[in-house]
Amino acid sequence: MMGRTFIRRTIRLCRYLPVLLLVSGLAMPTVVSAKQDGRLTVGEAATQVQERTGGRVLSAEPQRRDGHVVYLIKVLLPDGRVRTFTIDSGTAR
């Protein structure tokens, strides 16, 4: 049998659901604008490096360098070495 406390907490948590949905919706235009500008997303950059090397992506993170975004993609290569690739979001190189 469910206790009243559990039900009250569940109802309180449901109050925050619209706020969470709104916040997550605000993050979406950033991804869309990157695609509209013709820039690579971090996921696309990671896939590109994985396909080129045949390795496994360990991490992928964006960084700002000289006023534009680059992605640092760390990959475990098939021969066991770990290598970090830098991909420019604008030129995809």
Could you report the per-residue pLDDT of 15-65, keeping only the tens digit for each? 766 666 666 655 554 444 455 567 888 999 999 999 999 999 999 999 999
The position carrying tokens 């990157």 is: 34
Do 47 and 30 sit in the same domain of this protein? no
Q: What is the pLDDT of residue 63?
A: 92
93 lies in the same domain as 49? yes
The better pLDDT of the pair 93, 26 is held by 93
Range of the domain at 52: 39-93
- Same domain? For 31 and 44 the reply is no
CB-based contact 27:71 (threshold 8 Å): no
- Domains in the chain, number: 2
Shared domain check, 45 and 88: yes
Confidence of residue 12 (pLDDT cuts 50, 70, 90): confident
- The better pLDDT of the pair 58, 14 is held by 58
Q: How far apart are CA 30 and CA 11, in angstroms?
A: 32
What integer pLDDT is reported at residue 31 of this predicted model?
47
